[in-house]
Structure formats: structure tokens, C-alpha cells
Amino acid sequence: MNEKNEKEKENIYEEFVWSFLPQSLKKNFYLEKFENPEDREAKMRIFLTEENKVPDLPTEYQGKKIINTIKKKTTIDYFLITGKKVEIILTRRKWKFEGVEKMLAREIDVRAKGTHLEKEYALFLKELHRKFSCSD
């Protein structure tokens, strides 16, 4: 297979995986890896890494030199796909600036507060619970 065909195949694969994910993530993350074990009991895992693009700088960070960048993984439980549990593993970035105590991180609101669930999925489950737990 030539390089052009290989690149096209990779693009189709990536677009397919992104079709299952919250589109809000596509703006700041790239697909690092996708695992779909043949074992029906094993979880599908989608690994996304935050782009190394510094967010808009608040005043206290402007004109300061970046002295460190750290990455931290966060796991979010996501919808079932073909009967398998799915995890999204986000690798988030934080930037440390010279002379500023607090590290800078992009505000990305994906997880439902107090859970390990993706926001849209949590709202779906909440609505489902509300619908089926009401007595007639």
C-alpha cells in the first residue's frame, strides 16, 4: 500500500472514532490511540491528548516565560458501543509560567460534576432514570 493510501486509511479511521465522541473535544485534542479488544468483557478505550497550544492568557500570565508543562490523565466513562463499555482517557496539559504561582489549564467541561461520566451521557442516564422511576 502506498503512502497516500495509508494516510487516507488513517484519516477514515480517525474520523470514524471521532464520530462517537463529543465534538467539543475535537477542538483541543487529537486522537492518540484507540483500543478495541476482541474480548467482549474488555473495555474499548479511546486515548485523546490535549494539543500543546497555550490557551488565551489572563493578565497575570502575559509576557511571562513558560518554564514547565505537565500532563495528567483523566478517565471518563462513556456510552456503550456495540455492548462494550467505553472509556475516554484524556491527557490534559497545564502550563507553569515564570513568576506565577498557579498553573494555567484550559477550561474544558466534559465530565459531569461528581462523577466519572461524560456530561451528555450523565444527562441521558438522569433523564432515563426520571422517565422509568416515576410511578403511574
pLDDT at 19: 82
Of the candidates 22, 47, 21, the residue with the CA atom closest to the CA atom of residue 35 = 47
> Using CA atoms, how far apart are residues 78 and 90, in angstroms rounded to an integer?
12
pLDDT at 10: 78
Contact 116, 77 (CB under 8 A): yes
pLDDT at 123: 62
Q: Is residue 82 over pLDDT 80?
A: no
Q: What pTM was computed for the model?
A: 0.74
Task: Choose the weakest-confidence range: 47-51, 59-63, 98-102, 108-112.
Answer: 108-112
The residue ranking higher by pLDDT, 104 or 133, is: 104
Q: How confident is the model at residue 31 (pLDDT cuts 50, 70, 90)?
A: very high
- The whole-number average pLDDT for the span 19-31 is 84
User: Domain spans of the chain?
Assistant: 3-133
pLDDT at 127: 65
Q: How confident is the model at residue 40 (pLDDT cuts 50, 70, 90)?
A: confident
Answer left, alpha or beta for residue 59, where phi above 0 means left and psi between -120 and 50 means alpha. alpha
Task: Choose the weakest-confidence range: 68-72, 73-77, 112-116.
Answer: 112-116
- Which residues have a Cβ under 8 Å from the Cβ of 20 and sit 6 or more positions away? 46, 79, 81, 86
Cell of 75: 478517565
Task: Choose the weakest-confidence range: 12-21, 30-39, 54-63, 64-73.
Answer: 12-21
Q: What residues are paired with 44 via a beta bridge?
A: 86
Contact 99, 68 (CB under 8 A): no
SS3 122: helix
